[in-house]
Amino acid sequence: MRAADGPGGAGRLRAALAVVKDSAAHPSSLVHALPFHRVRGLHFARFTIVEEGETKPTFGPKKYLPAELVLSLVFDGTKVECVEQFIGAARRELDIIYASCEAYPGPKAETAQVRDYLFAHDVLPFVFYQGIEGATVTAVESTAALRDRLRAQLDARLMHGTAETAASLSHDLRPRPPIIAARDLPPALPVLSERALQLRVLAWILVVVSPFVVLALLTGMAAWKIGASEGGSVAVGFAPVALLLALLLLHEAADARALQREEPKSVAQRDFSRVRIVEDVAVQNALSHCVVVKSGVRPIALRIVFWAIRQRVSIVDRYARSLGGIASIHFARWVPLDGGDRLLFLSDYDGSYESYLAEFVDRASAGLSSIWSNTLGFPETWLLVFKGAKDEARFKKWTRDKQLETPIWYSAYPARTVANIHNDLRMSQLLATDQATPDDSAWLGLL
Amino acid sequence: MTTIAFDDVQGIILRGYKELLFARFVLFGVTDAGAARNWLAGLSITAASERDQETATNVALSWEGLRRLGVPDADLDRFTVELRDGMSKDAQRQRALGDIGKHAPEKWSWGGPSDPIHGVFLLYATTGEKLTELEARLFERQKTGVVALHKLETRALPDGAGAKQYWFREHFGFRDGVAQPRLALRSQTPDAERRGVLRRAGEGNTVAPGEFLFGYANEYGKEPDGAPERLRNNGSFLVVRQIEQDVCAFWQFVRDKAHKLDVSPILLASKMVGRWPNGAPLVRAPREETAGLEQFDAFGYAEPDPDGHACPFGAHIRRANPRDALVPGERQSVQIVKTHRLIRRGRSYGEPIHEPLEPSLFLPKLDALASSVTGERGLHFLCFNTSIHRQFEFVQQTWINSPKFMGQHDGSDPITSPFDGGAFEMPGLPARRRVTDMRTFIRIRGGAYFFMPGLRALRSIVELGP
């Protein structure tokens, strides 16, 4: 959800968020700045401030982009449930934070008015990725508690040596009846082999390429119909795709030249202290990042890319349990701001910023380049996916440069990594079945 | 593949000087820039092309030191932010490195926020007398323009078997410094030049020189850019950390925990390290300390030990260098790990609690030793890299200190983590066993980031007119 503010708005918004943080019960802790924990089913939440900026459309004058306040909530259940609970829990703080935002109903308004205000500013993401499909906050917490309990029991059994076998340990420690029923756990996605995943990647490529093949066929057939020769029809058929590629290459060449002009000027690095000071306090971290989208064919390219990435997530990534190879993401979303003039990226991830960025470069550079090469200042790319984020030093500098502060950020389970949650869910799933099979002790390996 | 300008690279970067058993590191401050430049210009600094010498002298400068010596702002601005900030200034960096609580820079004996270090001399010699002589000669000039702030003494703990092979143990009693990256050198590099240059490493361990030296391509095919173009060629960033080790308390802890689990203390400690005291890696010698594998380094984890039954995921050497088992896919794993390697050049300091430094010999006398042993001991950790944030800081934060490394729940490095608490897990059959309430037996006593310039660059720094 976003709310616009006038010129100089970023400063006002920052001050308002600071007031809320300072008046919170535990000012030292980011987690308690707002009573997010009272919202049932809320996984992650944050307030982020997007600075004002401008964009130059292909036609017409420069366009002013206001400072904006971004509230992001990741929740189980319905939007109405979540937002109403949130307003109920944090109305006082919301009134302070939104005081300078355009058209906010104000402290005297009914809850429903505030809710409708927030809904009116709701923006749907281009892509929403979840690292652990279907896991509710309750499932995350209950499975972790189950593992903690069982692991203490296992420790006790293994004290002073062991004459135990896996079967006897499993028999004695397995809770009967199961503590967490299968229906309270997200359905287990199959764990696919390397080969099966490769096949899925192939299938995804086919899906992504097919519209272009269809386009080529249709134009080729149309040319054939109006009497072009065989060779001519094939040429005409490929023409639209070739045109798109040529247009893209022209854009990329122009952008590369612009970068070369700009780069020597930007010696001084931005002061990152404000974004770094909240990093690495806990196991998880938040990245908020916003860039202005380039003009010309770029907004269209961006939409095509996001379509391809949505396909990728549903065909490959949900089974691989990673976003393009990055397995440390709880939630990630790309969101259009100002009708697509700006692109916001929010993610909740495990580990250090440095390790996250290293994964961007080492594992997902093609996918990320295909998205962000359509935005300003991104390192030179070729055909959307090549070079780009592979230019490690420039890419990291660019990402830091476009990073936003996340002054208020909440996680319902700040000590759990994606890997931990997968492990605990898997173990609980194995324990949820009552039947004793020969392979009954597999769950022990997850303890 | 590259040809390296051995005559321009300072010797310690490419060679360990293992035959020079005596070393002293002199941390200095610049008091008079003009005099210091004059003095530095007259010193003879050892290049990597020099061989078989009896002494060696290398020098590195902090950002503040470079500034004091008169390096212009335009160049200073081009140094990476870690060098500019230094190791001890910033709260986020302290969190990342674990320099909090008893490790906080305010408590350091050198390099803390009120103790700026401008540079360091690394002095090496074959004997103690030659070392003293070398240092005396270095400072014999009346007006050096620098003041020696701290002298870090070292004490070699040799573990050498053959006549010319020098291997060191660290104070806990384990062979140290076995795994080093090998530089990808052009095949026609003469054998004489290759000699001694990081060649004892295993296969699959050849790293682009740009990871450790400016002016060469790194693992991403780019020249590292964390230093100004004019000064960077054949230079490297030097990280120094003084790590105190509480050896008796470590072994008492291990002994008590091993007793509860009914395993031998040496096995438990070796599980924590990932190698036996003699250096044999657990993946090759899972059950006992095997002879003949002391320097063995040509191994991976993915195929022999995917579940960590031999070498636990949390073991020190598996964290510091996860080799082929960091992510699914051995080749991809190796490729990623190559971007986080360090050339390590540390030396121990302080008297060992026992000689020979062999755990099986001193364990029976441990309690007596604990009450009689005095003095401080530990490691002066030195390493070289060209990206402090991607290499040294990354390894420290993401692999060593992280309680979540490789999917674990709550255990940081059992040997070098700065934190108390958490558990050390040993996967195995019938089920994993773990040591709970882990404790740290190290303490950070000092540290700083330096730039070690190539010899030509050093000359251009000291020849700047006042």
Instruction: Please count the structural domains in chain B.
Output: 1
Q: For the residues B240-265, what does the mean pLDDT come to?
A: 96
Predicted confidence at residue B199, as pLDDT, reads 45
Residue B387 and residue B224 in contact, taking contact as beta carbons nearer than 8 Å: yes
Output phi, psi for A335, to 5 deg: -125, 130
- Search chain A and give the residue with CA nearest B75: A267
Please report, rounded to a whole number, the percentage of residues in chain B having pLDDT higher than 70: 93
Q: Which of A196, A194, A419, A352 is nearest to B330 (CA)?
A: A194
Q: A30-71, pLDDT tens digit by residue?
A: 445 788 999 999 999 999 999 888 888 878 889 999 889 999
What whole-number distance in Å separates Cα of residue A310 and Cα of residue B268? 48
For residue A311, pLDDT beyond 80: yes
How confident is the model over A135-149, as a mean pLDDT? 95
B52-67 pLDDT per residue, tens? 889 999 999 999 999 9
CB contact under 8 A, A352 and B398: yes
What is the structure's pLDDT at B192? 54
B394 vs A160: CB contact, 8 Å cut-off?
no
Orientation of helix A298-312 relative to helix A365-372, angle to 10° = 150
- pLDDT attached to residue A167: 86
What residues have CB less than 8 Å from B385, skipping those under 6 apart?
B211, B212, B236, B237, B239, B341, B342, B343, B391, B392
Q: How far apart are CA A184 and CA A180, in angstroms?
A: 7
Residue B214 token pair: 């400016």
Residue from A151, A278, A359, A365 to probe the interface with B (highest B Cβ count within 10 Å): A151
- Which of B120, B148, B129, B142 shows the shortest CA–CA distance to B55? B129
* Closest CA relative to residue A309, chosen from A337, A340, A332: A332
Question: What residue spans of A33-165 are helical by DSSP H?
Answer: 79-97, 111-120, 137-158
| Number of other CB atoms surrounding residue A401 within 10 Å | 14
Single-letter amino acid, residue B9:
V
Question: How many Å from the N-terminal Cα to the C-terminal Cα in chain B?
Answer: 40
Any CB–CB contact under 8 A between A162 and chain B?
A: yes
- A28–B contact, CB cutoff 8 A: no
Q: Which of residues 317-336 of A touch B (CB under 8 A)?
A: 327
**Range of weakest confidence among A94-98, B188-192, B336-340:** B188-192
Q: Is residue A424 within 8 Å of A430, Cβ to Cβ?
A: no
Chain B touched by A351 (CB under 8 Å): yes
Asked if residues B131 and B22 have their Cβ atoms less than 8 Å apart, the reply is: yes
Q: Which residues contact A171 (CB under 8 A, 6 or more apart)?
A: A436, A440
Q: Does the structure show a pLDDT above 70 at B200? A: no
Rounded Cα distance between B112 and B119, Å, is: 14
Which of chain A's residues have a Cβ under 8 Å away from the Cβ of B398? 351-352, 354-355
> Cα angle vertex A353, ends A351, A359, to 5°?
80
pLDDT band at B193 (very low <50, low <70, confident <90, very high): low
Torsion of CA A271, B61, B342, B159, to 10 degrees: -150
Residue A4 has pLDDT above 70, yes or no: no
Mean pLDDT of chain B: 91
Q: Which of A295, A239, A256 is nearest to A61 (CA)?
A: A295
Residue numbers of B between 69 and 128 with CB closer than 8 Å to A: 77-78, 81, 90-92, 95-96
Q: Which among A182, A180, A177, A158 has a CA at the least distance from the CA of A168?
A: A158
- Distance, CA of B263 to CA of A259 (rounded, Å): 62
Name the packing angle between helices A137-158 and A418-432 (round to 10°): 80
User: Beta-carbon neighbour count of residue B294 at 10 Å?
Assistant: 20
Could you say which DSSP state residue B339 is in?
T
Over range A414-434, report the average pLDDT. 91
Counting one residue from chain A and one from chain B, the pairs whose CB atoms sit within 8 A come to 109
Whether residue B404 lies within 8 A of chain A, CB to CB, comes out as yes
- Residues in chain B, overall count: 466
Mean pLDDT of B206-223: 94
Q: What angle do CA A376, A71, A389 make, to 5 degrees?
A: 30
Residue among B176, B177, B181 nearest B199 (CA): B181
What mean pLDDT do residues B215-237 have?
95
Residue A272 burial by Cβ neighbours in a 10 Å radius (0-12, 13-18, 19+): middle
The letter for the amino acid at A1 is M
Q: What is the pLDDT of residue A17?
A: 84
Average pLDDT of chain A to the nearest whole number: 88
* A181 close to B (CB below 8 A): no
The SS3 of residue A136 is: coil
pLDDT digits (tens, 9 = 90+) for B381-414: 999 999 999 999 999 999 999 999 999 999 999 9
- Please judge whether B404 and A161 are an interchain contact, meaning their C-beta atoms are less than 8 angstroms apart: no
The minimum CA-CA distance between B245 and chain A, rounded to whole Å, is 26
Minimal CA separation from A179 to chain B, in Å: 21
Residue A355 in contact with residue A240, Cβ under 8 Å? no
Phi, psi of A50 (to 5 degrees): -95, 125
Distances (CA, A) of A207 to A203, A371, B132: 6, 18, 73
Q: Name the residue among A372, A224, A344, A353 with its Cα closest to residue A279.
A: A353
A352, A422, A441: which to substitute to probe chain B, counting the most B Cβ within 10 Å? A352
A284 touches chain B (CB under 8 A): no
What is the structure's pLDDT at A30?
A: 47
Distance CA A318, CA B162 (A): 55
User: Based on the number of CB atoms within 10 Å of its own CB, is A303 exposed (0-12), middle (13-18) or buried (19 or more)?
Assistant: middle
pLDDT of B201: 42
Tally of CA atoms within 13 A in the half-sphere of A201 that contains its CB = 11
Q: What is the pLDDT at residue B194?
A: 53
Mutate to test the interface with A, among B83, B432, B438 (most CBs of A within 10 A): B432
Mutation target among A173, A193, A266, A276 for the B interface, most CBs of B within 10 A: A276
User: Rounded to the nearest 10 degrees, what angle do helices A111-120 and A79-97 cross at?
Assistant: 100
Ramachandran category for residue A288: left, alpha or beta (phi over 0 → left; psi -120 to 50 → alpha): beta
Tokens 């210091």 -> residue = B36
Instruction: Round to whole Å and give the CA distance between A13 and A18.
Output: 9
What is the token pair recorded at A393? 């030093």
Q: What pLDDT digit, counting tens, does each position of B305-362 carry?
A: 999 999 999 999 999 999 999 988 888 899 999 999 999 999 999 999 998 899 999 9
Decide if B220 and A273 are in contact by the 8 Å CB cutoff: no
SS3 letters across B55-104: EEEEEEECHHHHHHCCCCHHHHCCCCHHHHHCCCCCHHHHHHHCCCHHHC
Judged by phi (left if over 0) then psi (alpha if -120 to 50, else beta), residue A253 lies in alpha
Q: Please, which pLDDT band fits residue A238 given cuts at 50, 70 and 90?
A: confident
Instruction: Quote the CA–CA distance of B8 and A32 in Å, as a whole number.
Output: 55
pLDDT at B229: 94
3-class SS at A412? coil
B327 touches chain A (CB under 8 A): yes
State which residues form the domain around B100.
1-466
Nearest to A376 by CA among A286, A302, A283: A302
CB contact under 8 A, B398 and A159: no
DSSP A299-334: HHHHHHHHHHHHHHIIIIIHHHTSBTTB--EEEEEE
State the Cα–Cα distance between residues B388 and A6, nearest whole angstrom.
41
Residues of B in contact with A361 (CB under 8 A): 220
Interface contact B389-A279, CB threshold 8 A:
no
Provide the ipTM. Answer: 0.90
Of the candidates B404, B233, B249, B47, which has an alpha carbon nearest to the alpha carbon of residue A356?
B404
Contact B261 A444 (CB under 8 A): no
- Least confident span in A343-347, A371-375, A439-443, B361-365: A439-443
- Above pLDDT 90, what percent of chain A? 55
Give residue A202's identity as a one-letter amino acid code.
L
A10 phi/psi in degrees, rounded to 5: -60, -40
For the ranges A234-248, B111-125, B353-367, which has the lowest average pLDDT? A234-248
- In chain A, what is the straight-line distance between the N-terminal and C-terminal CA atoms, in Å? 40
Arithmetic mean of pLDDT, A356-379 = 93
